[in-house]
Chain A
Amino acid sequence: MSWDKVPVDLSDLRVLPEDNTLAGNRLITYRQAIHEAFAIALKQDPKVFLFGEGIDDPAGVFGTTLNLHKQFSKDRVFDTPICENTLTGIAIGASLAGMRPVLIHMRTDFLLVSMDQIINHAAKWKYMFGGKVNLPIVIRAIIGGGWGSAAQHSQPIQAIFAHIPGLRVVMPSTAYDAKGLLLSSIACPDPVMFIDHRWLFDYKDYVPEEAYLVPLGKPVLRRQGKDVTVITSSFMTAIALEAGKKLQDEGIDIEIVDLRTVKPIDAELIFSSVKKTKKAIVLDFGYAFCGISAEISSMITENCFSFLARPVERIALADVPTPASHVLEKEFYPNLENIICKIRKIAKGG
């Protein structure tokens, strides 16, 4: 059994950073990059502390917080009672009193226990007090199921947070971004939902050893192409890159825009790409209905309608709770072949 390996057909995918080798000379994993970002933040800023259920245990949140409590003391990296809503309030209060807390949840599902403090409090605290207070808090949770995680341990609920004014939602797709976006999130004066994807934990990327920031709210072009724009984020970027390689053999040249953060979004890169290719598909590791793919699709339609050769397409997870059986699970999650078929159809004007 392995919790953090991908149990679907995409297990051998790796994001190969063909064009950013200049960024550094070390190939490290997404999980190592997150661990490294935490270590840097703890070292650089005495106000930073990490807390969450089980973060100092021998598993160390899939290795991303492993042994940090030994390196930086049990005051700064500590295990907690099981009270997610209160822990969120504690993060808010600690940030008001001058700290930079990072609250860690092993599953996004646990965020649902803390919705009152996230949405009623953290998201609007600055606004409610006329901008007089900032909440520099990071709430990190891990998305992605597999191995029968089922309906309460693998929910793709990032859109709920993107819906709420005042929250930032970060979803890194590469090790380089995971480190740079995490450091930006910790440096940010606002509440940030940092949602990393456990299917990416073993993916390797060239990552500089030093600290660096990847700006929040700025998408990036992962692949240049002329036929179809694929807008994606998080693990779906990995699938998009794989699809891009396979489609290239057929002479279909896709352009991939990785959102990096899904709220707020600077959409200019998406629009300029769609205006060039005239065709767009949004891939989202979430539900389609009222989801991030719906929002991106609507933004494109509102801003690039006259450029579009055909309607914007979407691929997202099945609109059902996550099933446990591996047969159903495989059907639930996005499938590389389906994605390739759909893009091929769009490219060929079908």
Chain B
Amino acid sequence: MDKRIIKDLYYRMVKIRKFEDKIIQHYPEQQMRCPVHLYIGQEAIATGVCAHLKKSDYLFSYHRNHGHLIAKGADIKEMFAELYGKKTGCSSGKGGSTHMVSLENSIFGTSAIVAGGIPIGTGAALAVRLQRQRQIVVIFLGDGAIEQGTFFESMNFAKLKKLPILFVCENNFYATNSSQKVRQANPDIYKIADFFSMPKALLDGNDVIQVYKKSGDFIARIRKGSGPCFIEARTYRFRTHVGPETDIEKGFRAREEVEKWMKKCPYKRFHRQILANKLLKENELLDIEHRADEEVKEAWEFAVKSPYPEKEDLRTDIY
């Protein structure tokens, strides 16, 4: 693989990890007063997929959205400021963690309602088709989202109209604290695509190279007009559903299960892979990490120093 691509993937993944590590570090200070749904452990998916996207390609996400925005290139200063409820936040302090936007990256908002973004992304793809434009749409969804009717309705509509959409289901096996086993009759989410005769893939969501390669194939097909494709990428979140803690101390998940998955950490795995295959040198990785550290530190400082909204801002932006 091209060295530039490896560097780019490593940079995106490290930046997501460090952004969220910074949240974990400062969240207990009670200055970020909104729920945060951390993406740590799942970074390989957003990274692998978004590396193929142009700024003009649309991206739709859900409540666990930080990784998707960062991987697509959103301004992390504005994102951090949004977590702090500041006026300089990407949503002017009105959205918080779950409602982030980055117009220049064609991210027109994220929904906190499970599956809420799926039909909206489908509509964006319809607009692309009606306007005879060339962008594609990527819709990220969690495993819980496939339990919603709008998921099936959107899959049907996307296939019916041959819309340029890549559906990426990030299966981390939990919806809030309920495991997939108690929620779904069939554990193989990717097979749903068969009913809609949609090309599909089941991926190791902790292997960034695999995600990069397969999503690249699908995205190339979609750009050529093949219609929608579906990916199920299996992964695991290291932290609790909402908040910076882990689930071990709270007893929501078994220690053995969490520890088993932490050994498959997508970040450490990629790091090992790069060095073992001599794809990059250690100092090159350190340079990337240092750059990400600096950017995240700068973003956090910007957020902390930024002003809060004015009281008058409460009543603006309705109509």
Residues of A participating in the B interface, judged by any CB pair closer than 8 Å: 49, 75-76, 80-81, 83, 85-99, 101, 116-117, 120-121, 125-133, 165-166, 168, 190, 264
* B130 touches which of A75, A85, A128, A130 (Cβ 8 Å): A75
A117 — which chain B residues lie within 8 A by C-beta?
A: 116, 119-120, 150
Q: Chain B interface residue count: which class?
A: 35 or more
B154 — which chain A residues lie within 8 A by C-beta?
A: 86, 89-90
B318 — which chain A residues lie within 8 A by C-beta?
A: 126-127, 165-166
Instruction: Decide yes or no whether B225 CB sits under 8 A from chain A.
Output: no
Closest beta carbon of chain A to B61's beta carbon, Å = 13
Contact B122 A86 (CB under 8 A): yes
Give the number of A-B contacts (CB < 8 Å).
143
- Say yes or no: A120-B111 contact (C-beta < 8 A), given A96-B120, A131-B317: yes
Segment among B64-72, B95-103, B264-272, B281-289 that sits at the interface with chain A: B95-103
Closest beta carbon of chain A to B57's beta carbon, Å = 11
Instruction: Decide yes or no whether B127 CB sits under 8 A from chain A.
Output: yes
Q: Which of B109, B156, B316 has the most CB of A within 10 A?
A: B109
- Say yes or no: A92-B123 contact (C-beta < 8 A), given A81-B153, A131-B317, A133-B109: yes
B116 — which chain A residues lie within 8 A by C-beta?
A: 89, 116-117, 120-121
Chain B residue at minimal CB-CB distance from A51: B126
- Say yes or no: A86-B153 contact (C-beta < 8 A), given A128-B94, A129-B101, A168-B319: yes
Contact B123 A93 (CB under 8 A): yes
- Say yes or no: A90-B108 contact (C-beta < 8 A), given A121-B120, A129-B101, A190-B319: no
A166 — which chain B residues lie within 8 A by C-beta?
A: 318-319
Instruction: Decide yes or no whether B92 CB sits under 8 A from chain A.
Output: yes
Alpha-carbon gap, A117 to B93, bound state (A) = 22
Chain B residue at minimal CB-CB distance from A49: B130
Alpha-carbon gap, A165 to B318, bound state (A) = 7
Chain A residue at minimal CB-CB distance from B89: A130
Name 12 A/B residue pairs within 8 A (Cβ), A-sorted: A49-B130, A83-B156, A87-B119, A89-B150, A90-B119, A94-B127, A126-B319, A127-B318, A129-B101, A129-B108, A129-B109, A130-B90
Closest beta carbon of chain A to B70's beta carbon, Å = 17
Alpha-carbon gap, A95 to B109, bound state (A) = 13
Contact A130 B128 (CB under 8 A): no
Alpha-carbon gap, A132 to B107, bound state (A) = 11
Contact A133 B127 (CB under 8 A): no
Alpha-carbon gap, A94 to B131, bound state (A) = 10
Contact A93 B125 (CB under 8 A): yes
Instruction: Decide yes or no whether B231 CB sits under 8 A from chain A.
Output: no
Chain A residue at minimal CB-CB distance from B108: A96
Contact A125 B109 (CB under 8 A): yes
- Say yes or no: A94-B124 contact (C-beta < 8 A), given A116-B116, A121-B116: yes
Contact B103 A86 (CB under 8 A): no
**Residues in B294-319 with C-beta less than 8 Å from chain A:** 316-319
- Say yes or no: A127-B113 contact (C-beta < 8 A), given A86-B122, A89-B118, A165-B318: no
